[in-house]
Amino acid sequence: MKQLLFILLAVLVLAVMAFPCLAQQNVIYGCYQKNNGQVRIVNHTNECRSSEVGISWNSGSGPNTAQIALLKWYDANTVTSFPTGGSGWGDVIFDGDNIWAGNSGSNTISRIRPSDGAILNVYPLPDSVGGMAFDGGNIWIANGKGDGAGAVTKLRASDGTIMDTVSVTGGSSFLAFDGANIWVTNAMIVGGNDTVTKIRASDGHILGVFPAGPGCVNLAFDGANIWTANWRSDTVTKLRASDGQTLGTFRVGLNPVTVAFDGTNVWVTSGNDKSVTKLRASDGALLGSFSVPDASCVAFDGANIWVTGPLSNIITKLRASDGAIIGSFPTAQFWPGEMAFDGTHMWVKYALSGIVSKF
């Protein structure tokens, strides 16, 4: 064991000398070889082979040898990145079996196996790629346009067949599924008409178009209601899902971007004041506002809230019960964006590359 530790330390020193950019970033990437227990230093964990596990550590600490011995991958060292087979910004969602990643640069959507990050399929789309949602059998993709040319594509998850394309008024940015219907925000930070469209998932029939808030770019479903983040008014709007009736508008941080529901409360990220706001879903009461290093997208993992920081390249993990920060993790790529939880790991899509990371 002492010899192994000495070898690892020597390799670490050589790596810092050979790759000064890694020393500056204070993160070293390695591939743990499961067959012989050795660690191979690499430029990035996406270079790891199928027989290896990607790990990362601070340049001043070295690999966690206890972690390697126990085959236990702690939060700070679990980042493994995979190509999506496409390029550009896009949403990421989980369908119960696979991860789906949108690629706006190539107008494609990728189906990825969560266990090993293998690309199972890459499907072409008729238009650009925005937000996505899963309805139990199909993937719905907004075309991300706020210029009045909004549309939503329905793609069968089993084989990638395009089942329908539904035109919506004003634009189409992000999507949410309420158990029977797809909801579409018809606005962007600029553009669109500040409404949401309700589409019956079974046949694509539009059931209604309802006013939301200025710049309603993102939305979430709480089991009975739709919540929209209204970027231009520093508010969120709560609409009853059954009929689209506005039930309330609530003040949050500056320029709210995304919304997530934790089973009881609604969490809203605000990028311009680097905060996350927690509202009680039943009445919109403010339960707390929590500062983070940077804030864009938000997701819930069953116990914790995760927030991506595209300007800091940091992901922050907060305990949902009290908003305490319990982790802050540097990302493997620049500009982390949308997230999805697969029941075990949090997946992050990067806006500037065709890469997803698994935490």
Domain range holding 103?
87-353
pLDDT digits (tens, 9 = 90+) for 228-268: 999 999 999 999 999 999 999 999 999 999 999 999 999 99
Radius of gyration for the alpha carbons in the chain, expressed in angstroms and rounded: 21
Residue 76 or 37, more confident: 37
Q: Quick check: helix, strand or coil at residue 20?
A: helix
Phi, psi of 69 (to 5 degrees): -65, -40
| Residue % of the chain over a pLDDT of 90 | 66
What count of Cα atoms within 13 Å lies in the side-chain half-sphere of residue 30? 28
Average pLDDT over residues 269-290: 97
Total count of domains within the chain:
2
DSSP codes of every residue in 79-114: -EEEE-SS-S---EEE-SS-EEEEETTTTEEEEE-T
Q: Side chain identity at 338, as an amino acid letter?
A: E
**Does 172 share its domain with 283?**
yes
> Which neighbouring-strand residues pair with 199?
182, 206
Q: Quick check: helix, strand or coil at residue 273?
A: helix
Q: What confidence score (pLDDT) does residue 131 get?
A: 94
Q: For the chain, first and last CA: distance in Å?
A: 28
**Does 130 share its domain with 203?**
yes
Domain for residue 120, yes or no?
A: yes
**Does 109 share its domain with 26?**
no
pLDDT of 193 > 60? The answer is yes
Residue 78 or 276, more confident: 276
Distance CA 275, CA 254 (A): 8
pLDDT digits (tens, 9 = 90+) for 51-83: 666 666 555 555 554 444 434 433 433 458 999
**Does 168 share its domain with 305?**
yes
**Does 97 share its domain with 32?**
no
> Which neighbouring-strand residues pair with 287?
none
**Does 21 share its domain with 161?**
no
37 — pLDDT class (breaks 50, 70, 90):
low
pTM for this entry: 0.78
The residue from 33, 52, 77 where one domain ends is 77
Q: What confidence score (pLDDT) does residue 355 get?
A: 94
Q: Beta-carbon neighbour count of residue 351 at 10 Å?
A: 18
Long-range contacts formed by 98-103: CB under 8 A, 24+ apart: 98/157, 99/340, 99/342, 99/347, 99/356, 100/132, 100/134, 100/139, 100/157, 101/349, 101/356, 102/129, 102/130, 102/132, 102/141, 102/349, 103/129, 103/354
pLDDT digits (tens, 9 = 90+) for 104-124: 999 999 999 999 999 999 999
**Does 158 share its domain with 40?**
no
- The answer to whether the beta carbons of residues 178 and 169 sit under 8 Å apart is no
Average pLDDT over residues 257-285: 96
pLDDT of 154 > 80? The answer is yes
DSSP state of 9: H
Token duo for residue 65: 């040898």
> Which neighbouring-strand residues pair with 122?
110
User: For the domain that residue 107 is a member of, what is the CATH number?
Assistant: 2.130.10.10
pLDDT of 2 > 90? The answer is no
16 — pLDDT class (breaks 50, 70, 90):
very low
DSSP codes of every residue in 280-316: ETTT--EEEEEE-S----EEE-SSEEEEEETTTTEEE
Domain for residue 263, yes or no?
A: yes
**Does 92 share its domain with 54?**
no
**Does 92 share its domain with 213?**
yes
Q: Quick check: helix, strand or coil at residue 51?
A: coil
Q: What confidence score (pLDDT) does residue 84 get?
A: 96
Average pLDDT over residues 41-57: 71
Q: What confidence score (pLDDT) does residue 333 get?
A: 87
- The answer to whether the beta carbons of residues 306 and 317 sit under 8 Å apart is yes
Residue 80 or 206, more confident: 206
Residue 151 or 146, more confident: 151
The residue from 41, 59, 77 where one domain ends is 77
The residue from 77, 103, 122 where one domain ends is 77
Average pLDDT over residues 127-146: 90
